[in-house]
Amino acid sequence: MGAPVVLYPGSGGFTMTRSLTLYQVDAFAERAFQGNQACIIPLEAFLPDDVMLAIAAENNVAETAYIVRTGDSRWNLRWFTPAVEVPLCGHATLAAAHVLFAHEGFTGDAIAFDTVKSGCLTVQRRDDGRLAMDFPSAPVSEIEVSDEVAAALGARPVQAWGGIFYAARFETPADVQALAPDLKALKLLGAPGEGWDRGNFGCFAAGGEGVDVTSRFFAPGSGIDEDPATGSWHTMLARIMSERYGLDAITCLQAYPGRGGRIDAALRGDRVSLIGRAVTTVEGRFYL
C-alpha cells in the first residue's frame, strides 16, 4: 500500500509529511454505532513499534491494526491498543478482513493473517456476507474467587476460570449488566498463569435476550476500561460454555452499554470459529 509524500501546511510553512490510508470500522456490528471500533492501516512494511503505538494512541479506539501483504491471499497482522501491543485481537482481525474485501480489491474467498504470537488466523467470506474467523482456543482451568477480585468487581462471581484472561461467571445477565467495577483495583489483579498482562476480566452469565450467553469485558490492564466487543475473549468463553454447559456452538451478546456486539462462536477441538459482520464508518488519511 502506497504511502505518498505530500506537502502539508505547517506552522513554519510547508513541511514534507507521510500519508497513510486509514479505515475505521465497527466490527461485530450490523450497522454503524454498534460493536467495537478498530482502525485499519495497510502498509508496505511495518513502521517502528513506537510509531505504530503512537498512531494507535492518537486514534484512541480499542485497537489499531496494521497489515502488510506477503502473498496473493496472505498478510502479516499486528494489533495495538492505545497503550500496548496485544498478542490476539478478534474484532480488529474481522475489521482488517472487511477492509480487504470491501475496499482494497481482494476478490478471493479466504484471507490468511500471520501474527507474532497467535500463529496463522484465517478469515473466510460466507455466502450471507458474514465473515468467519478461525482462531486458537487455549485451555482453561477453574480457580477460586478471591476476596480481592470480588471487591474489585463489586460483586462476587459464582465461579471463575483462568486462561488467557480471568473469566468470572455470574448467576444472571442482569448481574453482569449491573457491574460497576473498581478499574484501578482490577488493573492489578488477574488469574494465576494468565497469558496476558493482569487486569483483563471477562464477566458472563448464561442466557439473555435471544442469546446463549451475555458478557462484558473489562481490560484496564490493556489500557481499555471496557471493551465493546472482544473476539479474543470469546475464544475463552466458547471453551467455558462447552465444558460447563455442553454447548459447542453459541450465540453471544457482549453487553457494552450503548453499543454491544453479537458474536457467533463454534468450538472445534483446540480451535474456535468466530462469526460476525463489520461496517466501515470512516475512510481517510493519517499524516505523520
Q: What is the DSSP track for 91-126?
A: HHHHHHHHHHHHTS---SSEEEEE-SSS-EEEEEE-
Q: For residue 47, what is the DSSP state?
A: P
Does residue 263 sit in the same domain as residue 224?
yes
In the chain, how many domains are there? 2
Does residue 150 sit in the same domain as residue 259?
yes
pLDDT digits (tens, 9 = 90+) for 109-132: 999 999 999 999 999 999 999 999
**SS3 assignment for 214-251:** EEEEEEHHHCEEEECCCHHHHHHHHHHHHHHHCCCEEE
Q: Tell me the residue range of the domain where 239 lies.
A: 141-269
SS3 state of residue 76: strand
Phi and psi dihedrals of 131, rounded to 5? -110, 135
User: Cell numbers 487486569 correspond to what residue?
Assistant: 199
Does residue 12 sit in the same domain as residue 116?
yes
| Helix 90-102, helix 231-245: angle, nearest 10 | 120
The length of the chain in residues reads 288
What pLDDT, on the 0 to 100 scale, is given for residue 191? 82
What pLDDT, on the 0 to 100 scale, is given for residue 11? 42
Phi and psi dihedrals of 145, rounded to 5? -85, 120
Does residue 21 sit in the same domain as residue 121?
yes
Does residue 72 sit in the same domain as residue 122?
yes
Does residue 95 sit in the same domain as residue 145?
no
What pLDDT, on the 0 to 100 scale, is given for residue 198? 87
Does residue 145 sit in the same domain as residue 59?
no
- State the amino acid at position 82 in one-letter form: P
CATH code, domain carrying 226:
3.10.310.10
Cα 92 to its chain centre, rounded Å, is 6
What pLDDT, on the 0 to 100 scale, is given for residue 243? 93
**Residue ranges of the chain with pLDDT lower than 50?**
1-14
Which amino acids are annotated catalytic? Answer: 63
